[in-house]
Structure 1
Amino acid sequence: MPFRWSGRAVQTISAAAMSALLLTSAMKHFREPQFFSQVVPDYLCREEPVTGPDATGDGNTPHDGGTRHLAVMSREEWIAVSGLLEAGAAVGLLIPVTRRATATAVTAMFTVFLAGHADALRRVYGPKGSPAQRTAHTVRFPLQLPLILWAWSLRSTPAGRRP
């Protein structure tokens, strides 16, 4: 007789896999923060205002003379906070009671990350981008969609259970 997977077992395994992925990524945020540096948009980073051709890192002078109105943290702080959020989400996905809320938050987080990936693509296809950076970010950007869909799928209640 073939083995049949219950909806609950499939969701638990899927949540554990997403949790492992998030935890691995969270650890990488602290071990290799430079890997995430290009994905943090410049306009979010509280850094010394720079004027001139290198203000945004893409060869263009910012329209506001170097002031970044949306900047609330440094690039390093954004990387650390996103690593902490991913670590917290990894735990939340493993707890059935918090899984739906956490999966919703992870879906939103991955969706927000699209802005960073789009900004990174814009910059690496500028004059300072290297072919390796172009390849890496061209591959990373579309990978967000399966992650978003996967996180969203963890919101569903397994068959045979009430919400």
Structure 2
Amino acid sequence: MSSPRSDRAARNLSAAAMSALLLASARQHFRNPGFYHQVVPGYLCRDDASAADGAASTGSTADGSAGTPDAGPRHSAQPPRPFAVLSREEWIAASGLLELAAAVGILVPLTRKATATGLAAMFTAFLAGHVDALRQAYGPHGTPAQRKMHTVRLPLQAPLILWAWSLRRPAPSSLTAGLLR
């Protein structure tokens, strides 16, 4: 049987590891936003000629550089997009800021449960973008590099969701552990 102190240390170590991962990802959002372009579904992006269309028409490769077209230029015949409140770049920056805030919140025991719940929800919401990117990668304009990258990225969401969800459980305190004996 493990002690409450070792359970708490393990939970804190897991939270610190999640925080480090989130910090690295947040940094990547700002240093190489092209890496995330395909993961932001087009239906979330404003129809800005310089933002959503430029990113959607140029696509990106595994290293974030410009690649072959993945969606082509948008036409005025597009149906209305009620969730298109930000440009693709703004979505990428906003998700980077959310990851940065979560990296801090997951370290603080008082905010860990709320942050972990929000992270699990955020990673679950990101599934839509990963599915859309995978669909485009296997479409007529997808490249082998995009297929490989998105085939790997999508299933990685499941362990991230489960890991975030596991951080919701509080570490047992010595008082409650003593009562359970």
Indicate the TM-score class for this superposition, using the shorter chain for normalisation: 0.7 to 0.9
CA distance in 2: counterparts of 1:58 and 1:125, whole angstroms = 12
**Percent of residue pairs identical:** 61
TM-score normalised per structure 2 = 0.78
Per the alignment, residue 84 of structure 1 pairs with 97
Equivalent pair of 2:136/2:142 in contact (CA under 8 Å) = yes
Per the alignment, residue 47 of structure 1 pairs with 47
Correspondent of 2:146 among 118, 122, 133: 133
Q: Aligned-pair distance for 1:61? A: 7.5
Stretches of structure 2 lacking an aligned partner (at least 5 in a row): 58-68, 177-181
CA distance in 2: counterparts of 1:38 and 1:60, whole angstroms = 14
Give the number of the structure whose residues are more often helix, by fraction.
2
Equivalent pair of 2:112/2:168 in contact (CA under 8 Å) = yes
Equivalent pair of 1:15/1:93 in contact (CA under 8 Å) = yes
CA distance in 2: counterparts of 1:57 and 1:128, whole angstroms = 5
1:18 aligns with 2:18: yes
Per the alignment, residue 151 of structure 1 pairs with 164
Correspondent of 1:72 among 75, 80, 85: 85
Per the alignment, residue 27 of structure 1 pairs with 27
Equivalent pair of 1:99/1:155 in contact (CA under 8 Å) = yes
Aligned length: 155
Please give the root-mean-square deviation of Cα atoms over the aligned residues, in Å.
2.3
